[in-house]
Amino acid sequence: MKVHVFDTKEKLYDEVSNYYIERLNKNPNLNLGLATGTTPIPLYDRLIEAYKKGLVSFKGVKAFNLDEYLGLEKNHHQSYYYFMRNQLFNHIDINQNNCFIPSGDNPDHETAKKEYQELLKQNQVDIQLLGIGSNGHIGFNEPNTPFDTKTHVVKLDEKTRIDNSRLFNSLDEVPTHAITMGISEIMNAKEIIVIATGSNKKDAVYEMIKGNISENVPASVLQRHPNVTVYIDKDAASRL
């Protein structure tokens, strides 16, 4: 695991976005594993800006998102389908038919799971972007998810629902379940980039990097991956 600590978020996001631009210019046909949450937004903003300046193109990119809430309509303001279009896809030249997100509005969860598993079997992700939950979750793989899981349906931790309730009108509105890429599928990416900022992530960051590898802390599995780079600000790094 390579760990880069930054004084400011600006420097952190400049570095990550420059890395993506460089990689995309070398290989315009990358399969990008993308994430939601507040953490990736400044990266997406920089990528949009670079696209508008003609510094990068996403025409050949396929995008595979980590997860989606169950039971929200696609156009719900907190669905990850809506988030990705709003924060990135609608502002760049990516082919929207090549943007994949697990289906959270298909009442047939079994089919939704199988479809996404099959898609990931056919398409290895080149660079998987990850945020981290304050309880150490990756995607929506909550603590005690077995490391060998593929795309599956999860009951969200109360901590995750409370963390994410800031984006909804009330805690009651936060879905109780989600569909997420499994840990084994995340680990199948050729390369993984983790971003974490803020002191509420310091314990999860510490456990991910220095803790025992344990299903109690899903992100700790990343210690076993041969190509992980962690980008953190000094608040998220404060326990290291």
Catalytic pick from 31, 65, 67, 164?
67
Catalytic pick from 68, 137, 141, 163?
137
Confirm whether 137 is a catalytic residue.
Answer: yes
What are the φ/ψ torsions at residue 10 (nearest 5 degrees)?
-55, -50
**Amino acid letter, 111:** T
Shortest CB 76 distance to ligand GLP, Å? 15
Q: Which residues bind ligand GLP (CB under 6 A)?
A: 35-39, 66-67, 131-133, 139-140, 160, 164
Instruction: Please say whether the beta carbons of 62 and 98 come within 8 A.
Output: yes
Shortest CB 23 distance to ligand GLP, Å? 21
Confirm whether 163 is a catalytic residue.
Answer: no
Instruction: Please say whether the beta carbons of 53 and 168 come within 8 A.
Output: no
> Per-residue b/e over 112-132, b at no fewer than 16 CB within 10 Å?
bbebbbeebeeeebbbbbbbb
Confirm whether 235 is a catalytic residue.
Answer: no
Report helix, strand or coil for 213: coil
- Closer to ligand GLP by Cβ: residue 116 or 140: 140
Shortest CB 64 distance to ligand GLP, Å? 13
- Closer to ligand GLP by Cβ: residue 60 or 150: 150
Q: 132: which residues sit within 8 A by CB, 6+ positions away? A: 138, 194, 196, 201, 204, 205, 208, 219
- Closer to ligand GLP by Cβ: residue 104 or 139: 139
- Closer to ligand GLP by Cβ: residue 48 or 178: 178
Confirm whether 67 is a catalytic residue.
Answer: yes
Active site residues: 67, 135, 137, 142
